[in-house]
Structure 1
Amino acid sequence: MSLLRSARFPALVLLTAAALGLFIANSPAGPLVEEISHFPIGIPGVFELSVDHWIADGLLAVFFFVVAVELQYELTNGQLNSARRALQPAIAAAGGVVVPIGIFLFFAAGSDSARGWPIPTATDIAFALGVLAVFGRGLPPAVRVFLLALAILDDIVGIVFIAVLFTQEVNVLLLVAAVVAVLVFALVSRRLGEGRDGPRVIVLVLLALTTWVLVYLSGVHATIAGVGLGLVMAQQPALRMRHLLEPWVNGVVLPLFAFAAALVVVPAVSPTQLSPAYWGVLVALPVGKIIGITLFGWIAQRVAGTGVRLPVADVLAAGALGGIGFTVSLLLSELAFGGSPELRDQATLGVLAGSVSSLVLAALLVSWRAWHYRRTARATT
């Protein structure tokens, strides 16, 4: 379990799962696995979802719960617990959203691909921190703090996009019922630790499942249930729950989602026949992120004068790490092009290729900065 709580190993598992999904989709076993992914599971006529929907709507809600718990902690006791401390990574995160959108629309404006503009806005926390852990030995803690805050804020943007842009025909009554369930969940979680926790834990689990079902049936993307529950749960029980769930999220939830999302058949076309959805994501992730985060991060430090001062080269490395999209970008791709399988597949390929490009670039930049700090440390001793 300790391996799955580390920063390095889960990133390797996630990358392996995505590569395996892409390989199997383009092998003779591809059609069979694709058929299995569409197999319905549930109570026929009552509540039934396909395997891939259980993964994207169900298991991924657990991931968003864990992220929301971390966000709650950072907003109250961590690196984002004041407006001043949050401003610098917030400005950098804004650049890491605006510039990739602009680059994507440069390729896709006026085409059917344009609705995929949210795809290159996300940063994968697990991957980015994994690369930082593998290649960043010797980097000052401020770089990790900046990256963590940046990635969390990016996730907030992704969550807002999911909630606002990809919700249709909302059943207000069911959504209100879900909000009530979340509030009751918050109240019950605050009674934990007062003796006889077993019944309360069972009630919390039932409330969480009820919330998820209500959100799903309301028409809002079901992962939002995980966000709401993670933000309102009493902090100490929430942190304990996060610790308990972390290895399962890193070892099961995220690899399964990466595998399922990467089940994409590479189109047998020339590069000139690939859609703007592919090219927009491919360029926007590595190029847009590094330009947006570095430029806006520099502005935040030099003009706004906020937060911890980082050398531009460190912000550049953080910008490259920000281009590793994977989890949330793959989910946004599924949502943006759910009715256009060809565009969805090409956007997914763009996410995979763009994220790998960012990963390689980030590994080089982070290794360079880590080497610089190690050399400086040796010179001063």
Structure 2
Amino acid sequence: MSRSPRLLRSAQFPAILLLAAAGLGLLLANLPSHDALAGVLGAHLAVPGTGLDLSVAHWVSDGVLAVFFFVVALELQYELTRGELNSVRAAVQPAIAAVGGILVPIAIYLLIAGAAAGQGSGAVTGWPIPTATDIAFALGVLAVFGRGLPSAVRAFLLALAILDDIVGIVFIAVLFAHGLNVLLLLLGLVAVAVFAVLSRLLGGRRTPVVAVLMVIVGVVAWGLFAASGVHATIAGVMLGLVMAPRTAGPTRHALEPWVNGLVLPLFAFVAAFVVIPQVPLGALSPAFFGILVALPVGKLVGISAFGLVAQRIRPAGTAPAIRFPDLLAAGALGGIGFTVSLLLANLAFAADPGVRDQAILGVLLGSVIALLLAAALVSWRARAHRAAGDAEEDLDDDPFEDETDEEPPDGR
């Protein structure tokens, strides 16, 4: 493998690239170049004869980002069938912790945003924003600072982040559908079913033809979902979940460098292209403060507290208990919301650009605070494990890499 794809498949570099892209977007939005770039991002590009007419920024968040959700769905499929979530017994501990990492941030956000509800604030609609965990960032921090942590901690975090993603996907599908067109949605589901059948035909002499047909059907499914009123990224999720397991691994492996090196940085740049409000601190929206506190604090408290409960009630025969200090580190990592939180911020406040921009700033600052806190806690725990002699050095392995060569026993 050449150096560039390997670098983009590592845990550390994509996280650094993502942060740099967001920082660049925020910087350029607040320089004199803002108007020119805003004009480019706001320019509309229509697809003749389809009714699809989106701005460049929306093509990125609705179209390009669908590829990211497709890859996430491939990971979800693997984990739900052969990975950390392949049984109730295996999933119960991270599932309980994930519940805490969702409920506590929501409660904190509503406490802060709800306090302004009587003053006509619409900030309460942003409650889903601090519920997400960014897998790429969390594993990147773990890889950089966590050399020596037991693999059980990484597995716990991975399962936790995936469960968070499932909840985020449900929020996007249920809360942000608008003007639902049932016929187009049904046609989209038919296209997804055709995609599933085609994916099971890969591997024969006509593989190139089938692959081209899959791309065409996938694009059609995306267009139908987008036109139906369901957020277009859900198409990516559906396509990833129904893909044949035999071809899902190689597909994810092939797309990963593109997602890490292009899709996510491009989305981070566009999402972070917001003007920092020139207003006193007290004039900022409650959405900003709610997210700023709920991401780093809510996730840390929710994941560690519920995780501790999960350890006490875990069924016999499950994985060994994770120590409470390690749960604290996992909770801090969970507060790095970033990608999905940025998308949720754009959706929750689509009708109010001013609040949306402040919510995005809250996501960026809250995620950075969580990142710094996680780096400190993970470093502390890694040193403790190395001192205790139970350190492990496999934190940068790709948990899905072996799947690329895997052949299911039944040949499907």
Instruction: Specify the alignment match of 1:224 in structure 2.
Output: 234
Cα deviation, residue 198, structure 1: 0.9
Are residues 1:236 and 2:246 paired? yes
Any stretches of 5+ residues in structure 2 without a counterpart? 392-412
Give the aligned residue type for 2:122. D
Are residues 1:40 and 2:44 paired? yes
User: Which of 83, 93, 98 is the matching residue for 2:98?
Assistant: 93
Cα deviation, residue 271, structure 1: 1.1
Q: Distance in 2 between matches of 1:308 and 1:261?
A: 40
Task: Work out whether residues 84 and 307 of structure 1, in 8 Å CA contact, stay in contact via their aligned partners in 2.
Answer: no
Q: How does 1:195-274 map to 2 (within 5 A)?
A: 195-274=205-284
Are residues 1:61 and 2:66 paired? yes
Task: Work out whether residues 333 and 348 of structure 1, in 8 Å CA contact, stay in contact via their aligned partners in 2.
Answer: yes
Cα deviation, residue 269, structure 1: 1.2
Task: Work out whether residues 41 and 56 of structure 2, in 8 Å CA contact, stay in contact via their aligned partners in 1.
Answer: yes
Cα deviation, residue 128, structure 1: 0.4
User: Which of 102, 106, 112 is the matching residue for 2:107?
Assistant: 102
> Is 34-43 or 159-168 further displaced after alignment?
34-43
Instruction: Specify the alignment match of 1:345 in structure 2.
Output: 357
Are residues 1:118 and 2:128 paired? yes
Q: Distance in 1 between matches of 2:310 and 2:135?
A: 22
Instruction: Specify the alignment match of 1:72 in structure 2.
Output: 77
Instruction: Specify the alignment match of 1:355 in structure 2.
Output: 367
**TM-score, reference length from structure 1:** 0.98
Cα deviation, residue 219, structure 1: 0.4
Q: Distance in 2 between matches of 1:358 and 1:58?
A: 29
Task: Work out whether residues 301 and 307 of structure 1, in 8 Å CA contact, stay in contact via their aligned partners in 2.
Answer: no
Query: Structure 1 residues 238 and 378 mapped into 2: Cα distance closer, same or farther (>3 Å)?
Result: closer
Any stretches of 5+ residues in structure 1 without a counterpart? none
Instruction: Specify the alignment match of 1:302 in structure 2.
Output: 312
**TM-score, reference length from structure 2:** 0.90
Q: Note the alpha carbon deviations across 1:201-258, whole angstroms, 9 max, x for none.
A: 1111111001000000000000000000000000121111111110000000000000
Q: Distance in 2 between matches of 1:338 and 1:308?
A: 44
Q: How does 1:175-186 map to 2 (within 5 A)?
A: 175-186=185-196
Task: Work out whether residues 87 and 307 of structure 1, in 8 Å CA contact, stay in contact via their aligned partners in 2.
Answer: no
* Equivalent residue pairs, number: 379
Q: Distance in 1 between matches of 2:64 and 2:293?
A: 30
Q: Note the alpha carbon deviations across 1:149-203, whole angstroms, 9 max, x for none.
A: 0000000000000000000121000000011111111111111113220111111
Q: Distance in 2 between matches of 1:154 and 1:35?
A: 35
Please provide the CA RMSD for this pair.
1.2
The secondary structure found in structure 2 opposite 1:48 is strand
Q: Distance in 2 between matches of 1:146 and 1:124?
A: 14
Cα deviation, residue 44, structure 1: 5.0
Give the aligned residue type for 1:223. T
Query: Structure 1 residues 304 and 377 mapped into 2: Cα distance closer, same or farther (>3 Å)?
Result: closer
Instruction: Specify the alignment match of 2:86 in structure 1.
Output: 81
Are residues 1:325 and 2:330 paired? no
Cα deviation, residue 39, structure 1: 1.1
The secondary structure found in structure 1 opposite 2:53 is strand
> Is 301-310 or 194-203 further displaced after alignment?
301-310
Q: Distance in 2 between matches of 1:281 and 1:67?
A: 24
Q: Distance in 1 between matches of 2:390 and 2:335?
A: 31
Give the aligned residue type for 1:55. V
Instruction: Specify the alignment match of 2:347 in structure 1.
Output: 335
Task: Work out whether residues 100 and 303 of structure 2, in 8 Å CA contact, stay in contact via their aligned partners in 1.
Answer: yes
Q: Distance in 1 between matches of 2:291 and 2:260?
A: 25
Give the aligned residue type for 2:378. V
Give the aligned residue type for 2:31. S
The secondary structure found in structure 1 opposite 2:54 is strand
Q: Distance in 1 between matches of 2:147 and 2:390?
A: 14
Q: Distance in 2 between matches of 1:80 and 1:141?
A: 15
| Runs of 4+ in structure 1 over 4 Å off | none
Q: Note the alpha carbon deviations across 1:57-95, whole angstroms, 9 max, x for none.
A: 001100000000001001111111101101110100000
The secondary structure found in structure 1 opposite 2:389 is helix
Q: Distance in 2 between matches of 1:137 and 1:304?
A: 27
Instruction: Specify the alignment match of 1:164 in structure 2.
Output: 174
Cα deviation, residue 307, structure 1: 3.9
Task: Work out whether residues 88 and 307 of structure 1, in 8 Å CA contact, stay in contact via their aligned partners in 2.
Answer: no
Give the aligned residue type for 2:275. V
Q: Distance in 1 between matches of 2:299 and 2:38?
A: 32
The secondary structure found in structure 1 opposite 2:46 is strand
Q: Distance in 1 between matches of 2:292 and 2:169?
A: 22
The secondary structure found in structure 2 opposite 1:41 is strand
Instruction: Specify the alignment match of 2:28 in structure 1.
Output: 24
Task: Work out whether residues 150 and 390 of structure 2, in 8 Å CA contact, stay in contact via their aligned partners in 1.
Answer: no
Instruction: Specify the alignment match of 2:394 in structure 1.
Output: none
Cα deviation, residue 49, structure 1: 1.6
Instruction: Specify the alignment match of 2:285 in structure 1.
Output: 275
Give the aligned residue type for 1:309. A
The secondary structure found in structure 2 opposite 1:42 is strand
Are residues 1:173 and 2:186 paired? no
Query: Structure 1 residues 51 and 378 mapped into 2: Cα distance closer, same or farther (>3 Å)?
Result: closer
Give the aligned residue type for 1:96. G
Q: Distance in 1 between matches of 2:113 and 2:174?
A: 21
Q: Distance in 1 between matches of 2:129 and 2:258?
A: 26
Give the aligned residue type for 1:108. A
Instruction: Specify the alignment match of 1:6 in structure 2.
Output: 10
Give the aligned residue type for 2:193. L
Give the aligned residue type for 1:186. A
Task: Work out whether residues 304 and 331 of structure 2, in 8 Å CA contact, stay in contact via their aligned partners in 1.
Answer: yes
